[in-house]
């Protein structure tokens, strides 16, 4: 893809305006990426060329590129141009599903459950029952935190399944975990927070949501034990995925859990526990949520996006007392509440044990798929190291040093294999690695899919 000229970016900096020039430049680039006028994959002008065009120092442009890199809007490969991230808002990930190209033959996209397993009949029965039993008052503007029926059912379910300490009053029902993170961010900003730690590697869409809602993100490195607690310093909050780190899949080590809780308690900092896919743990029962160990300093967030279907857009936050009013206020300010019919259906679905039943069946199916992926990788790509197999719906596949990750992705696409690279989820360089989801791919397609992927890896080396 060609490089844009400084002129084409149409950046206009206003020296009389109050935001500093660097902030103006960042905002204009961010807006351009979000509204699609700066296309995913496009190479930006060099820092020197853009600085000359805008008559600012080169350091200012370097800083702006670095900030947007940390937020996941830009990616820089060593020795290469800075480009708009493929995962950036306005890019393929944010476009409507209807616009997306057809699914590849071997669909290894991470973070996607098998929506064909959605228990539509049982859900329909829960919609009927939920509606039939609801008092008239439920159809009015209600408590922005959500229907009492659902908050009662969730408090019991999360306590039993995830060891979360929740009461109906500490729960806020949200439109997916995504909205939960946005309203929580706004509540933290309103209380004076300026920045938040995020995992690096981490979820690039999550970085964008948090940054878009007003907090600057500070990448905190992740290693084999999870996020490095000794790097938290004086941050006021950190968002992390302890049960199955996204994207590496590592489980937060017990000493790190203890260290994090200690850090938060000493500093009065907030730990935001993103429990996006923790119900899927294969080698033993899921490790309890961190929130259960210190409900005063941990905000817990989850959703049905991985267990039932992402399109339901149903999630929740369990909020410590000191943040409860602010978060409820932000939920009210955002949308006055989550659609009631879906809430009543989920309350009934949980209360009747349908969610447990669905999880038992789907966990078995995903375990079979995970085993097939791990087995096929061991036979067909023995030089790779596979990480993150204990839980969730994807594994991380580390390729031998020197492998060109982007070439592998290109060669895989040419073979109709849908895989993603780990570098989209890092702020700096790192070892070449792929994310291989098994939520969407049935067992019989896994071995042929990995065979095709192995061909793609060989082809990338041969180029």
Ligand X SMILES: Cc1ncc(COP(=O)(O)O)c(C=O)c1O
Tokens for 368, please give them: 């079979």
For ligand X, the closer of residues 176 and 418 by Cβ is 176
Tokens for 177, please give them: 């975990």
203 binds ligand X (CB under 6 A): yes
Per the omega criterion (within 30 degrees of 0), is the bond before 247 cis? yes
For ligand X, the closer of residues 201 and 315 by Cβ is 315
245 binds ligand X (CB under 6 A): no
- Can you state the angle between helices 354-380 and 120-133, rounded to 10 degrees? 150
Please report how close the Cβ of residue 447 comes to ligand X at its closest, in angstroms.
26
**Pairwise CA distance, residues 50 & 23, whole Å:** 15
246 binds ligand X (CB under 6 A): yes
221 binds ligand X (CB under 6 A): no
Number of residues that bind ligand X (CB under 6 A): 14
Tokens for 90, please give them: 């306005």
Q: Specify the residue for token string 């949980």.
A: 350
- State phi, psi for 74 to the nearest 5 degrees: -125, 150
Nearest partner of 165 among 290, 12, 17, judged by Cα: 290
Q: Specify the residue for token string 């993103």.
A: 274
For ligand X, the closer of residues 369 and 425 by Cβ is 425
Interacting residue with ligand X among 177, 198, 450, 460 (CB under 6 A): 177
For ligand X, the closer of residues 117 and 178 by Cβ is 178
Q: Specify the residue for token string 């009543």.
A: 344
Helix (H) and strand (E) counts for the chain? 13, 16
**Stretch of 50-58, 303-311, 323-331, 374-382 contacting ligand X, by CB under 6 A:** 303-311
Please report how close the Cβ of residue 243 comes to ligand X at its closest, in angstroms.
10
Please report how close the Cβ of residue 290 comes to ligand X at its closest, in angstroms.
15
Cα atoms in the 13 Å half-sphere on the side-chain side of 139: 7
Beta strands in 19-159 (DSSP E): 74-76, 82-84, 106-107
| CA-angle at 230, arms to 276 and 194, nearest 5° | 65
307 binds ligand X (CB under 6 A): no
Terminal CA-CA length for the chain: 19
Please report how close the Cβ of residue 380 comes to ligand X at its closest, in angstroms.
27
Interacting residue with ligand X among 73, 157, 276, 420 (CB under 6 A): 276
Interacting residue with ligand X among 62, 117, 178, 459 (CB under 6 A): 178
Residue 132: exposed, middle, or buried by beta-carbon count in 10 A (0-12, 13-18, 19+)? exposed
Residues in contact with ligand X, shown as a per-residue x/- string from 107 to 126 under the rule CB under 6 A: ----x---------------
Please report how close the Cβ of residue 276 comes to ligand X at its closest, in angstroms.
4
176 binds ligand X (CB under 6 A): yes
Interacting residue with ligand X among 241, 338, 362, 403 (CB under 6 A): 241
Interacting residue with ligand X among 185, 248, 303, 423 (CB under 6 A): 303
Interacting residue with ligand X among 6, 292, 295, 315 (CB under 6 A): 315
198 binds ligand X (CB under 6 A): no
Nearest partner of 398 among 426, 373, 421, judged by Cα: 421
316 binds ligand X (CB under 6 A): no
274 binds ligand X (CB under 6 A): yes
Nearest residue (beta carbon) to ligand X? 176
Interacting residue with ligand X among 61, 87, 161, 206 (CB under 6 A): 206
**Pairwise CA distance, residues 73 & 30, whole Å:** 7
Please report how close the Cβ of residue 274 comes to ligand X at its closest, in angstroms.
5
Task: Give the binding site for ligand X (CB under 6 A).
Answer: 111, 176-178, 203, 206, 241, 246, 274, 276, 303, 305, 310, 315
């Amino acid at each position: 893809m060609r490089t844009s000229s400084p002129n084409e970016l149409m950046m206009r900096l206003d020296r009389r305006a109050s935001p500093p020039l660097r902030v103006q430049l960042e905002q204009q680039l961010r807006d351009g990426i979000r509204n699609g006028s700066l296309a995913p994959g496009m190479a930006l002008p060099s820092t020197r060329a853009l600085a000359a065009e805008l008559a600012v120092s080169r350091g200012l442009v370097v800083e702006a590129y670095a900030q947007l890199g940390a937020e996941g809007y830009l990616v820089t490969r060593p020795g290469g141009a800075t480009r708009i991230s493929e995962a950036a808002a306005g890019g393929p990930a944010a476009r409507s599903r209807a616009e997306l190209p057809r699914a590849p033959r071997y669909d290894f996209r991470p973070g996607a459950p098998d929506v064909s397993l959605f228990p539509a009949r049982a859900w329909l029965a829960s919609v009927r029952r939920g509606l039939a039993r609801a008092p008239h008052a439920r159809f009015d503007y209600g408590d922005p935190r959500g229907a009492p029926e659902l908050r009662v059912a969730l408090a019991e379910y999360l306590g039993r399944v995830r060891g979360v300490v929740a009461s109906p009053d500490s729960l806020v029902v949200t439109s997916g975990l995504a909205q939960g993170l946005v309203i929580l961010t706004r509540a933290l900003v309103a209380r004076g927070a300026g920045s938040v730690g995020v995992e690096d590697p981490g979820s690039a869409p999550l970085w964008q949501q948090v940054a878009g809602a007003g907090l600057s993100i500070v990448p905190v490195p992740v290693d084999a034990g999870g996020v490095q607690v000794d790097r938290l310093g004086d941050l006021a909050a950190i968002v992390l995925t302890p049960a199955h780190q996204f994207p590496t899949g590592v489980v937060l080590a017990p000493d790190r859990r203890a260290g994090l809780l200690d850090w938060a308690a000493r500093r009065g900092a907030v730990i935001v526990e993103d429990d996006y896919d923790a119900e899927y743990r294969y080698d033993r029962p899921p490790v309890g949520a961190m929130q259960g160990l210190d409900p005063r300093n941990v905000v817990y967030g989850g959703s049905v996006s991985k267990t039932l279907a992402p399109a339901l857009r149903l999630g929740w936050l369990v909020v410590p007392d000191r943040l409860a009013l602010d978060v409820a206020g932000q939920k009210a300010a955002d949308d006055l509440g989550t659609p009631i019919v879906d809430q009543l259906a989920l309350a009934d679905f949980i209360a009747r044990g349908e969610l447990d039943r669905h999880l038992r069946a789907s966990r078995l199916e995903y375990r079979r798929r995970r085993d097939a992926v791990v087995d096929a990788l061991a036979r067909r790509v023995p030089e790779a190291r596979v990480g993150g197999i204990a839980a969730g719906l994807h594994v991380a596949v580390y390729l031998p040093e020197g492998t060109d990750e982007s070439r592998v992705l290109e060669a895989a696409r040419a073979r109709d294999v849908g895989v993603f690279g780990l570098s989209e989820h890092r702020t700096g360089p790192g070892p070449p690695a792929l994310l291989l989801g098994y939520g969407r791919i049935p067992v019989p397609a896994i071995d042929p899919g990995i065979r095709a992927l192995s061909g793609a890896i060989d082809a990338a080396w041969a180029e």
